[in-house]
Amino acid sequence: MGGGPSQEQKNAAQSQANLNNQLSGDFGQQYQFQQQQQQAANPFYKSLMNNGLPYYANLTDAMAGNTAQAFAPAKAQLNAQLGQGANALPSGFATQARTDLAAQQGRAFDQSLQGAQGANLQARQQGASGLLGQAQIANPTAYSGQALQGGQSIMQAPLASPGLAGLLGGLGGGLASALGF
């Protein structure tokens, strides 16, 4: 009996090699799928990251109209209370009251605009997060790591135990090195 691999070890090595081939095939399919997904998703995420909300201009335009519409009743009430028609003489009190109302309307619009800007920034951050997520998905470490571990297990598997002659030769060699021969 010599010190080569046994038939069981050869079978195990072949089985591991077959598994590695299967993992390599699965890795190739997964990689191809990931590439297709990235090609579909990345333009959307890049656009979101670079441009923000696609409807941002419409949002801010609508907010201006909504704010003006919300303040219309207050403006009408103020004009009714002041009792001034189009031909009335100027009044410092009326001018100040209208200025105050306009300032409140401006602050309300500014507050709405800040909310829209926050939503726009959040959309840009989601675009960047989406790109990062795509990069993490594309990381081939899981499949390739399994295949590499399988290959290493084949290479590191112990050979069949030596026969009696191999055992005696190993003991003799150990004794000779221990005694300094």
**What digits encode the pLDDT tens for the residues 64-78?**
888 989 999 999 898
Residue 147 pLDDT grade (very low, low, confident, very high; cuts 50, 70, 90): low
Contact present, 121 and 52 (Cβ < 8 Å): yes
CA 35/CA 102 separation, integer angstroms: 55
Residue 10 pLDDT grade (very low, low, confident, very high; cuts 50, 70, 90): confident
Helix axes 7-51, 92-137, angle to 10 degrees: 160
Answer yes or no: is pLDDT of 129 > 80: yes
Give the per-residue pLDDT at 92: 83
pLDDT in tens, 50-108: 999 998 999 888 988 889 899 999 998 988 888 766 566 677 888 888 899 999 999 99
Which parts of 52-163 fold into alpha helices (H)? 56-82, 92-137, 141-156
Half-sphere exposure for 68 (CA within 13 Å, toward CB): 6
Answer yes or no: is pLDDT of 41 > 80: yes
Answer yes or no: is pLDDT of 109 > 70: yes
Answer yes or no: is pLDDT of 23 > 90: no
Give the per-residue pLDDT at 119: 92
Give the residue-averaged pLDDT of 128-154: 71
